[in-house]
Amino acid sequence: MKMSQLRHLLCAALLLAAASAHAQYVWIDDKGLRQYSDRPPPTTVPLNKILKSPRPLGQTTAPDVQGNPAVEVAAPGVLSPAKAPPTLADRESDFRKRQKEQQEAQQKQDQEAAIKKQACEAALRNRGTLQAGGRIKEYDAKGEPQYLSDEERAKRLAEANRAIAEHGCR
């Protein structure tokens, strides 16, 4: 036999062994021991003691009305699954929804960053102006110019420093 044929035969044997290992039942018996088998546990074992089965718990195969075998029927007294797996359209709509939420969150974060940047720039400009040492002139309600006193300058400088610290400006 050629080596490549032997490899193919070996791979097929391994695949069959893996497939048969997949169809295993695991349950806890009345003595509290874990049991492994390729056959279903005895009917005396309650469903909550069955840890693993090849098909969903409570599902058995039974002939249909015409006698054709292998129709899945729920066992009596067992609830059938509440929800079918999501369809491709459901998964697509969920994906679009998550994508939209991420975009909205990113936009909100970008807006907050822009506002913070503007506040930082204004606070840094104010501090620079106040620390420059020149006289600062403002106009009052009548439109007449007034110069800031040293106390007012110190107060505004403290406010600018507080705003810089509050916004985490550099």
Q: What is the pTM of this model?
A: 0.42
Number of structural domains (the chain) is 1
Measure the CA–CA gap between 111 and 145, rounded to whole angstroms. Answer: 37
Distances in Å between the Cα of 149 and the Cα atoms of 35, 60, 138 are: 89, 91, 11
pLDDT tens, residue by residue, 70-79? 444 445 444 4
**Does some domain include residue 97?**
yes
In a domain, 145, yes or no: yes
Q: What is the pLDDT of residue 71?
A: 46
102 within a domain of the structure (yes/no): yes
Parent domain of 159: 89-169
Q: 81-103 pLDDT, tens per residue? A: 556 788 889 999 999 999 999 99
Kindly state whether residue 67 falls inside one of the protein's structural domains. Answer: no
